[in-house]
């Protein structure tokens, strides 16, 4: 199965959105100078990136209300590899917060064995696949594949943006000792957001009052992020997103895959993913009713 080269290109075994970045830019990122105070949020797409971007931004800025509430989320925690708003990352004031979908082997070299903090958020891959399917419908820069079965086969083969889910998580997990990294799951955030936020604060060495933590829980809720124009990404250019076809904050639930996948598709998914997933040191939750 070939990569759809009108939309994507591959660089060192990982696929990127063609219109948004070049291989030269990705290559140069390996030497991007990092600071101990930087924080990198790493995700495979559709795993809770903007949710965690919002949480990180609130942890760093909410307490002292320095005006960040008037800045779009994408500018508070910009994407490392997709510098959509052409920001000056090099001269950005500390602490710099970045989001990235990069695999472990393409991130800035300085992140390895350093003090810079990395947070990896993972989500059960069936929900990731379904979320990406709907996202592809409204992202102008991704190919829309109408038939879900064909889309799922592409996902299983790692032939979509960001390549293989399994390779991504296996890579980051196997190299966890090379980084100062915290692993979290979307599902644990869903089930107990306050505990997840406290875990993040603890990792970042941030002590916030109970009142501030509660305010973060509130501001990071699906309902509030949906109506907040700084966090719902509705300010994004129509050249990137067609809001008549969907939204970034779609459902935000555990187990939506059950509303789209047939039993046969789910079994096919398990057949391809199960063996490698069982070796991962994470417990995935496939349904809201499952315990973590």
Catalytic residues: 101
Task: State the Cα–Cα distance between residues 20 and 11, nearest whole angstrom.
Answer: 14
Taking the complex as a whole, the smallest distance from the CB of residue 220 to ligand PPS amounts, in Å, to 5
Pick the closer one to ligand PPS by CB: 73 or 181.
73
Instruction: Give whole-number Cα distances, 1 to 128, 157, 172, 195, 249, in Å.
Output: 21, 8, 25, 42, 30
Residue 14's DSSP bridge partners are 11
Pick the closer one to ligand PPS by CB: 131 or 180.
131
Taking the complex as a whole, the smallest distance from the CB of residue 179 to ligand PPS amounts, in Å, to 20
Q: Which two structure tokens, joined as six digits, stand for 120?
A: 């990896």
List strand residue ranges (DSSP E) for 242-290, in order. none
Residue facing ligand PPS at closest CB distance: 252
Contacting positions for ligand PPS (CB under 6 A): 43, 45-51, 127, 131, 134, 220-222, 225, 249-252, 256
Between helix 148-156 and helix 125-138 the angle, nearest 10°, is 120
Pick the closer one to ligand PPS by CB: 3 or 241.
241
Q: Which two structure tokens, joined as six digits, stand for 246?
A: 């969907």
Taking the complex as a whole, the smallest distance from the CB of residue 21 to ligand PPS amounts, in Å, to 15
Taking the complex as a whole, the smallest distance from the CB of residue 198 to ligand PPS amounts, in Å, to 17
Taking the complex as a whole, the smallest distance from the CB of residue 31 to ligand PPS amounts, in Å, to 25
**Cis bond before residue 95 (omega within 30° of 0):** yes
Pick the closer one to ligand PPS by CB: 222 or 292.
222
Identify the helix (H) or strand (E) that includes residue 261: none
Pick the closer one to ligand PPS by CB: 43 or 185.
43
Q: Which two structure tokens, joined as six digits, stand for 97?
A: 């917060």
| Strands 8-11, 117-122: pairing kind | unpaired
Instruction: Give whole-number Cα distances, 140 to 49, 165, 207, 236, in Å.
Output: 19, 22, 41, 11
What is the CB neighbour count within 10 angstroms for residue 77? 22
């Amino acid at each position: 199965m070939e990569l759809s080269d009108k939309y994507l290109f591959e660089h060192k075994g990982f696929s990127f959105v063609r219109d948004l970045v070049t291989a030269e830019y990705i290559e140069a990122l390996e030497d991007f100078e990092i600071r101990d105070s930087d924080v990198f949020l790493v995700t495979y797409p559709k795993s809770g990136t903007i949710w965690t971007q919002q949480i990180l931004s609130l942890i760093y800025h909410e307490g002292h209300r320095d005006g960040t509430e008037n800045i779009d989320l994408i500018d508070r925690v910009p994407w490392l590899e997709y510098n959509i708003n052409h920001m000056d990352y090099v001269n950005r004031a500390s602490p710099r917060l970045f989001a990235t979908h990069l695999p472990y082997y393409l991130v800035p070299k300085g992140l390895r064995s350093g003090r810079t903090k990395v947070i990896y958020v993972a989500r059960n891959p069936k929900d990731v696949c379904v979320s990406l399917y709907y996202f592809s419908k409204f992202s102008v820069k991704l190919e829309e594949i109408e038939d879900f079965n064909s889309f799922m086969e592409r996902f299983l083969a790692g032939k979509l943006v960001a390549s293989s889910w399994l390779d991504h998580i296996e890579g980051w997990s196997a190299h966890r000792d090379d980084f100062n990294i915290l692993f979290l799951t979307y599902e644990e955030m869903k089930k107990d957001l306050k505990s997840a936020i406290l875990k993040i604060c603890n990792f970042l060495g941030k002590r916030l009052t109970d009142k501030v933590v509660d305010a973060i829980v509130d501001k990071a809720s699906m309902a509030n992020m949906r109506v907040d124009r700084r966090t719902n990404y509705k300010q994004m250019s129509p050249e990137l997103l067609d809001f008549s076809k969907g939204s970034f904050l779609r459902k935000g639930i555990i187990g939506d895959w059950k509303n789209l996948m047939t039993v046969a598709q789910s079994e096919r998914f398990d057949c391809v993913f199960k063996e490698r997933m069982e070796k991962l040191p994470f417990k995935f939750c496939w349904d809201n009713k499952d315990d973590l």
